[in-house]
Amino acid sequence: MKQRTIAKAIKSIGIGLHKGNPVEILLEPLEADMGIQFYRTDLGITIEATPNNVVDTKMATVIGKNGATISTIEHLLAVVYSYGIDNLRISLNSSEVPIMDGSGASFCMMLDEAGIMKLSANKKIMIIKKNISYKDGKKWTKISPSAHAEYDFTIDFNHPVIQKQKYNFIFSKKDFIKDISKARTFGFLKDVQALRSMGLALGGSLDNAIVLDDKKMLNSDPLRYQNEFVRHKILDAIGDLSLMGMPIIGKYESFAGSHSLNHILTLEILKDKENYEVKYFDKEYYNAYSKVFA
């Protein structure tokens, strides 16, 4: 299987979740082995999408380099990963990827419009060889060897609309678009009020997040999936783990995981070369995974 980029450049505009300002996003093709690169047009700084460039994971996944940062990269990256794109330049004129509708749906539309271009270089995949886990109190995250690319997430919120939700997702592009890409980010009204007082979440609204008070959902439009909350956590996990830079064959599992736990997991994987194997996506793997990473 060959590496991919997009067939033509595509532009869009949206609102940054935290600053609330309009942000222009431009996706452009890149040559083989260049990876996913973010570029701050206002500062002239390139930030490669790699685990080592992650500088913050509290509210969203943030990468940074030479004083420049880009926040909320995870939904866009989940879509780029799921479309099998290995090389892409993402230019932004501000410090946030636009939040769009709080899901990956708008980015799917952008990539559908841009089209996929195959490059001549071979694609690589990462095969997980050992169990790697990280625990933080009751929260944990783990990756283990598997024949699939699999994501299994459980959340347990003491809230009547969410409660306990568990979702097991066997990855494929088709199922990602159908079952994961439309799941929106969510937050609690009391947190939104606290964030606003700190000058954050200024762009947050019922158009780009599911917002809950103590008892109910405030949005008038219904949930897109009955368990949209846990599906969104899988969207986040796919985006966060995509920083590894290639398709991952293994089973990811988490209970109450977060961007922070996902980031630590990527660093734990990379700590020891025995944990994984990087292979060209050649005949042997092509037969096993060509449908998964179509």
With contacts defined by CB under 5 A, name the span among 133-141, 207-215, 228-236, 279-287 that binds Zn ion. 228-236
| 159 catalytic residue (yes or no) | no
Q: Which residues pair with 13 in a beta bridge?
A: 24
CA separation for the pair 172, 127 (Å, rounded)? 16
Nearer to Zn ion by C-beta: 86 or 236? 236
Report the nearest approach of Zn ion to the CB of residue 236 (Å): 4
Pairing of strands 88-92, 36-40: parallel
Report the nearest approach of Zn ion to the CB of residue 235 (Å): 6
Where in 182-221 is the site for Zn ion (CB under 5 A)?
A: 185
Report the nearest approach of Zn ion to the CB of residue 104 (Å): 9
Q: Which residues pair with 106 in a beta bridge?
A: none
CA separation for the pair 233, 151 (Å, rounded)? 10
Residue type, 140: W
Where in 33-92 is the site for Zn ion (CB under 5 A)?
A: none
| Closest by Cα among 126, 133, 124, 166 to 149 | 126
Task: At 46, give phi and psi (nearest 5°).
Answer: -95, 135
Nearer to Zn ion by C-beta: 36 or 76? 76
With contacts defined by CB under 5 A, name the span among 61-69, 104-112, 234-242, 285-293 that binds Zn ion. 234-242
Is the Cβ–Cβ distance between 103 and 225 less than 8 Å?
Answer: no
With contacts defined by CB under 5 A, name the span among 38-46, 125-133, 151-159, 181-189 that binds Zn ion. 181-189
Q: Does 150 bind Zn ion (CB under 5 A)?
A: no
CA separation for the pair 173, 159 (Å, rounded)? 32
Report the nearest approach of Zn ion to the CB of residue 183 (Å): 9
CA separation for the pair 96, 23 (Å, rounded)? 7
Q: Which two tokens stand for residue 264?
A: 């630590």
Number of residues that bind Zn ion (CB under 5 A): 2
Q: Does 3 bind Zn ion (CB under 5 A)?
A: no
Q: Does 96 bind Zn ion (CB under 5 A)?
A: no
Q: Using CB under 5 A, list all residues that contact Zn ion.
A: 185, 236
Q: Which residues are catalytic?
A: 259
